[in-house]
A and B are shown apart, each in its own frame.
Chain A
């Protein structure tokens, strides 16, 4: 369905922010994109949306949806050419809705563009029902500031669904919400994905959420994907030392040790990414050949691969 091939995003006349990212998403599937802040997760999603800020541009690779290339198209151009659609739920529900427009108008606006034959108000109510907002007919005339954070994020999901997307991007949709609300919103996304057959790119830094939500995982570090796998194999036997490091940081319910493990050092900033493996300066297994040249793609079973000279599990080299 969605196919991202060797995507490169750079600052204009500057360093690369994304350095050759490739992945695919099938209908009804959730792919989790995991990484620390600044690793390029959000840039990936904005690039897929065609909403990169003016200072950034796609300088290599392609994005295609259902066989049509959409790499350099902004959302309104995608509408005009009638190609496949990507919609997005943003991280911050408190600021992502226009404060001076009613909820109904903000959903209706998307309906009018993507569903020209529908009655905007009816379709908007249907969408609010779909995201399980109680008393939907009444809420259409509410302003965003009258709703709670969880409700606003549901409205954001309704707006995204109004675009009739094949792919839904959810960029840390629950980090700003309370824990109980978090679970409801995650359940809603999971449910919509199954029911509507939408492919979801779920962006998070929280491996705990990944285990509940996703079928497949891609781990991002310093603008590149270091490991891809199904959820099970990844948690059982990670290949890349960085993935293993992330998992060691998860709190272990069976351990009494109050101190959480951390990965020493900090992720490199864009423009200061070292040659060779970007993780080498922080990696206990690194050797001299990690610090220059291309990285080999190693495989550990069906659909499981990583870019590393010294993978943790003895794996078949490509």
Chain B
């Protein structure tokens, strides 16, 4: 127990920034889990009399053009941020890991699959996502799929690289020549050794999913406008930037700090992992 505690607290002491990042992410989780209790108003309560109020005692962070409370919308926005992040990470891992592992194990299949990944990667990422939105239509779930498709490609590439190296490890070759089956090798040797690269990749994907979702929201092609997401809040406040510039600050800051914290965590995880794989995870 003491040992476990030490392995978790030691990095926090040596990297104060990362510790602050983790605390911020915890705050987001608490915001999302307890939004109705933390937010002073319902996120969609319209109050035309008090529209575009600057930050003050009644409305901690002011109100928007419908008189909705900014702080409450920020708190509820954490829900969508987490949903998008978790959704995109799960999608990217659930598709990228099998593609990468299968490609590494079966070279003939790998040529085809990795070639397809290359083709997808030749599309600029946001255009790929926009194209998918056109096909699927607008919506939170579709935004997750569209952004997830971008990170399917990078995840598959990384998993492919790591799996190829693991496959060439002497102990895997030994297991193979001792007659171990493919399933055994995948579950006993390849997947367990892939956990730390995948954790690093997951935190970066989570971070960039926030930026991608915010861009889609801003273009009016992400979450439907009635949903309080930070990206939507920015998109709506755009017209009022000279009259109510405070509307711009908080949602943007939440996006930046969420992505920044996740990048810090990803960096810290990467520095603690096997140096052989570190090089592949560089951005």
Direct contact of A and B (CB under 8 A): no
